[in-house]
Amino acid sequence: MKKILSIMLAALVLVACNSTGENNDGENGMEPGRILVLYYSQTGATDSVAREIQCQLDADIEEIQLENPYNGTYDETIERCKKEMETGEVPAVKPIKADLGKYDVIFLGYPVWFGTYARPIAGLVKAVDFKDKKVVTFCTLGSGGLQSSTADLAKALPGAKVVMEGYGVRNARISAIHDEVERFLIEHEFKEGYVTPLPAFMEDHPVTSEEKAVFDQACSDYPFPLGTPVAVATRTTDTSTDYMYTVNSKDKDGKNVVGQVFVTVGFDEGSKPEFTQVVR
């Protein structure tokens, strides 16, 4: 089923790219041929984001391959990953075909595992020299991990110029990537164009019963507790009302932490609240 979904998502991105013809002439904020999209994808979700970025920038693209792939079940993959993290072992990656010397900017993509970049990226970092390259992260995630994984990469790549604001999307929201990726690329001057600047969130206030109901509706389908909302700030955009909840929760070690849960409610008829990411 995951393979079928992966093929369908990739096909949708390819159709959108070919039908719009966006940036096929290389007219974006960077010189054509100087951007590489380099990524690892386990289920196909990150592959869809990678191809969307490649499509919009007319960039080169390459998927990271492992010498010993994670071919087991979900539980087996998790167990292998845990052992590798405990022992410090990193999976060996196959040599990449791209000549990094050709590129100024590397868009580096991965799924988030255990709050940071997936283990194959650790193998890539060990094998490849990113010195003096501008590295832009993008990732797919269950709830959060964009900020922590980007910070971890910045530490692992001291010779690179890691952009600290990357792009992340929940697996449950892959259908939103076209517009979100376009905004990200324009805002960071990788692509020409204009998007209406997002307004700042208003000052936060104690959560009302109505706002608690929005939080519950957005998070009820997620299999893990996201915490108790105690305050919220809102903003209104051209397409949605967004909520930034301050939540009391616990980290993986059971310690009390304060985090943020972001929720959006679109203006389209029938739109339901959905959370976009968690920051702890």
Question: Residue 31, SS3?
Answer: coil
Task: Give the confidence band of 17 by pLDDT, cuts at 50, 70, 90.
Answer: low
The residue to which tokens 């040599």 are assigned = 95
The backbone region for 152, taken as left when phi is positive above 0, alpha when psi lies in -120 to 50, beta otherwise, is alpha
The structural domains of the chain, with segments of one domain joined by +, span: 2-187, 205-279
Q: For the segment 133-148, what is each residue's pLDDT rounded down to a tens digit? A: 999 999 999 999 999 9
| Pairing verdict, β 161-170 and 35-39 | unpaired
207 has a pLDDT exceeding 90: yes
Query: What is the distance between the alpha carbons of residues 188 and 244, in angstroms, rounded to a whole number?
Result: 23
Amino acid at position 4, single letter: I
What is the mean pLDDT of the segment spanning 156-161? Answer: 96
- Under 8 Å between Cβ of 136 and 146: no
| pTM score above 0.85 | yes
pLDDT at residue number 244: 98
Question: Residue 182, SS3?
Answer: helix
Q: For the segment 257-275, what is each residue's pLDDT rounded down to a tens digit? A: 999 999 999 999 989 999 9
Query: What is the distance between the alpha carbons of residues 280 and 278, in angstroms, rounded to a whole number?
Result: 7
Query: Measured between alpha carbons, how far is residue 231 from residues 204, 221, 275 in Å?
Result: 6, 21, 16
pLDDT at residue number 3: 43
33 has a pLDDT exceeding 70: no
The verdict on domain 2-187 having CATH code 1.10.10.10 is no
